[in-house]
């Protein structure tokens, strides 16, 4: 059964009926029962225990003593979209079809994002240089399976699902929901920022996640354009844009920035509030609205202006981000504009050297403080049923600031540590404050669950898996061909295995891949055993450590309707190691093992056993080895609902 989700006007109309007409909506059958799930992405049990030992996290410590605390097994692999899909569906990846951040098309070998897909209108009318849509386009949620709050809705239980990952577009229904990780910016990407600079040295040779514009101040002003989404009404699909002028006041270290309908003054080093941008594709067509913030990095001697990725406007979303329609607008009216981009902490500013670590910390704090304001708003209005609330900062902060707390990391910076402190522990302490607030106010008979989808490990060394496959004869380039990305110049008639994504390894299987050569019978089984054994034997010549802790066979760890879509092997890295960025996109060139020198210094894309998550509750946790998918039927059971037949999890509160 294919349960792919689409967001259409018909669904929106049905939601309006369900939410506005009393006769359409089911009666609240929660009986006043409250279940609160606080999700701290990436919170690590080792760091929690370290802080316990120093007297930190008093609320979580009290929760562990009065209820329970244990490690929580993540997914295979422990990537966020995979892990959260396990939690959402109560299944392993074979049941929900999300196996990695990146999947591949066996007909082309090319990668694509695993969680969602935009489908253009099927019917259009061409008029000269213009294309007019005669039907609506759709955005497809590619996660299969039924979300657990759909069962709550069927049982008459109200639910608020705030920013859960792997839920864009959000599952249609009566639950109040805002999509989280996986939600794109207005351009349809995971977040592309813009940087305007008068210094050519600011522009990287190969920028990642950014667009750089070289500007030249003239007559005391910089004139440029903020690029927006493509104009889908034009055949060439040119980018829409909005012109701005920055009037430079060198004497005061400031600039006045004029935009259509708005003018603001920023001092050097100052951030703006959220700004609304309206992009007009046609004179008679509705404007496409987005929001952004500006950061005036420098006025003199160089002009440098940062523009955040243009976020979907929650008051007028160009793409579906909420249920019921208008929920996001109501939140924005109450607390002001906020990031709708799924991963708002913009780590690419560090990759491209646009921000210093101190500037990124300021940005990181802005995102976290904004999330605190949103939580306060949601918590004040919560009455009963289920509340799921998600924090991203425990994950993105650990990715970036791990090296500050780890003297062994290749880029450990003692001076930055002295200035900024242990940002990870600071963030954990703030999450402990959220837990304390909920514990004090949740009331008797309520259930509190505090959880994470995975833990963390250092990222010391990268491993080019495709390079290893090439060196060992499993991946072959055409004679005389140069190395390249996206499997450029691979000779598929001689290639037996290839890797795409952060943990996925595929056989070039006959009858499945376009140019497959591996027989799906005995040859396949022998090759899988051979690859697993050789990969688990790989050692780092620098220290003798194992690079890979475990190689999982998909046919042994996955079950369910969609297990046939899985990669053949899942490579689980050991402590300190991870797939190289290059290999993840099909690049075979470069050093097999390379020291990681980027600020992205912590990671979790290894073996499940290396990076367990955390599970706290105010109820006794009976299971000794709970998995993410065990929480799903546990939540249903708290409301007296039975476990659906296709869920594989157990109730964590029952032996």
pLDDT for res 171? 97
Q: How confident is the model at residue 21 (pLDDT cuts 50, 70, 90)?
A: very low
Cβ atoms of residues 253 and 303 within 8 Å: no
441 is written with which tokens? 């106010």
pLDDT per residue over 422-433, tens digit each?
999 999 999 999
End-to-end CA distance of the chain: 33
Read off the pLDDT of each residue in 7-26 and give the average, rounded to a whole number.
36
What pLDDT, on a 0 to 100 scale, did the predictor assign at position 263?
98
Query: Is the peptide bond preceding residue 596 cis, with omega within 30 degrees of 0?
Result: no
Please say if the pLDDT value at position 344 is more than 50.
yes
Q: What is the pLDDT of residues 298-323, one digit of tens each?
A: 999 999 999 999 999 999 999 999 99
Specify the range with the lowest mean pLDDT, choosing from 212-226, 240-254, 584-598.
584-598
Strand partners, 605: none
Tell whether the model's pLDDT for residue 235 goes beyond 90. Answer: no
What does the pLDDT read at residue 314?
A: 99
How large is the angle between the packed helices 628-638 and 80-89, nearest 10 degrees? 30
Q: How confident is the model at residue 237 (pLDDT cuts 50, 70, 90)?
A: confident
Split at pLDDT 50, 70, 90, the class of 3 is very low
511: pLDDT strictly greater than 50: yes
- Among residues 646, 496, 497, 485, the alpha carbon closest in space to that of 560 is found at 646
DSSP 493: T
Confidence of residue 294 (pLDDT cuts 50, 70, 90): very high
Q: For 330, how many CA atoms within 13 A lie in the half-sphere containing its CB?
A: 12
Q: What is the pLDDT of residue 23?
A: 36
pLDDT digits (tens, 9 = 90+) for 30-74: 779 999 999 999 999 999 999 999 999 999 999 999 999 999 999
517-535 pLDDT, tens digit each: 999 999 999 999 999 999 9
Q: Tally helices (H) and strands (E) across the chain.
A: 17, 35
Q: From edge to edge, which strands make up the β-sheet containing 385-391?
A: 68-72, 613-617, 447-451, 34-40, 385-391, 159-162, 176-178, 322-323
* pLDDT surpasses 60 at 501: yes
pLDDT on residue 122: 66
**Nearest Cα residue to 268 out of 256, 285, 284, 280:** 256
Residue 257: DSSP 8-state: E
């Amino acid at each position: 059964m294919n349960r792919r989700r689409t967001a259409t006007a018909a669904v929106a109309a049905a939601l309006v009926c369900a939410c506005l007409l009393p006769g359409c909506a089911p009666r609240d059958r929660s009986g006043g029962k409250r279940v609160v799930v606080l999700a701290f992405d990436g919170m690590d049990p080792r760091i929690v225990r370290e802080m316990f030992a120093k007297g930190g996290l008093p609320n979580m410590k009290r929760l562990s003593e009065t209820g329970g605390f244990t490690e929580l097994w993540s997914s295979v692999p422990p990537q966020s979209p995979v892990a959260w899909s396990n939690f959402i569906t109560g299944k392993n990846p074979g049941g929900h079809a999300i196996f990695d951040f990146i999947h591949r098309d066996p007909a082309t070998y090319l990668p694509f994002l695993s969680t969602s897909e935009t489908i253009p209108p099927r019917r259009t009318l061409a008029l000269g240089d213009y294309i007019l849509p005669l039907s609506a386009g759709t955005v497809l949620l590619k996660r299969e399976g039924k979300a657990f709050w759909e069962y709550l809705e069927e049982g008459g239980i109200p639910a608020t699902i705030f920013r859960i990952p792997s839920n864009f577009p959000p599952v249609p229904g009566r639950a109040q929901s805002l999509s989280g990780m996986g939600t794109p910016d207005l351009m349809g990407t995971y977040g592309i920022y813009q940087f305007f600079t008068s210094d050519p040295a600011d522009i990287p040779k190969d920028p990642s996640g950014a667009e750089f514009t070289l500007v030249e101040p003239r007559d005391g002003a910089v004139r440029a354009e903020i690029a927006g989404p493509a104009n889908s009404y034009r055949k060439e699909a040119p980018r829409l844009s909005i012109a701005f002028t920055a009037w430079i006041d060198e004497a005061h270290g400031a600039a006045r920035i004029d935009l259509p309908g708005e003018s603001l003054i920023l001092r050097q080093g100052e951030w703006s509030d959220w700004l609304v941008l309206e992009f007009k594709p046609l004179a008679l067509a509705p404007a496409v609205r987005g929001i952004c913030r500006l950061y005036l990095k420098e006025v003199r001697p160089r002009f440098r202006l940062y523009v955040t990725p243009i976020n979907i406007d929650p008051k007028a979303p160009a793409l579906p981000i909420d249920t019921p329609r208008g929920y996001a607008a109501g939140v924005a009216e109450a607390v002001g504009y906020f990031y709708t981009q799924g991963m708002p902490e913009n780590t690419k500013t560090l990759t491209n050297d646009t921000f210093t670590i101190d500037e990124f910390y300021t940005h990181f704090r802005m995102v976290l403080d904004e999330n605190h304001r949103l939580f306060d708003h949601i918590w004040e209005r919560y009455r009963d049923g289920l509340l799921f609330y998600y924090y991203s900062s425990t994950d993105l902060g650990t990715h970036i600031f791990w090296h500050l707390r780890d003297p062994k990391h290749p880029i450990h910076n003692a001076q930055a540590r002295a200035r900024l402190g242990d940002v990870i522990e600071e963030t954990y302490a703030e999450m402990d404050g959220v837990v304390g607030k909920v514990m004090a106010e949740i009331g008797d008979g309520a259930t509190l669950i505090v959880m994470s989808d995975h833990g963390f490990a250092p990222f010391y060394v990268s491993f080019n898996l495709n390079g290893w496959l090439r060196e060992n004869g499993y991946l072959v380039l055409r004679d005389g061909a140069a190395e390249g990305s996206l499997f450029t110049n691979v000779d598929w008639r001689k290639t037996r295995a290839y890797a795409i994504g952060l943990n996925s390894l595929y056989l070039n299987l006959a009858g499945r891949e376009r140019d497959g050569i591996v027989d799906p019978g005995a040859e396949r089984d022998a090759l899988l055993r051979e690859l697993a054994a050789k990969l688990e034997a790989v050692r780092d010549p620098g220290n003798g450590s194992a690079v890979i802790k475990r190689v999982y066979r998909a046919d042994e760890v996955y079950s369910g309707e969609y297990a046939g879509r899985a990669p053949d092997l899942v490579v689980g890295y050991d402590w300190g190691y991870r797939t190289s960025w290059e290999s993840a996109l099909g690049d075979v060139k470069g050093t097999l093992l390379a020291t990681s020198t980027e600020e992205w210094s912590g990671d979790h894309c290894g073996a499940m056993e290396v990076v367990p998550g955390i599970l706290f509750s105010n109820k006794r946790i009976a299971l000794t080895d709970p998995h993410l998918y065990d929480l799903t039927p546990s939540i249903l059971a708290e409301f007296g609902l039975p476990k659906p037949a296709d869920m594989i999890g157990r109730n964590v509160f029952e032996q």
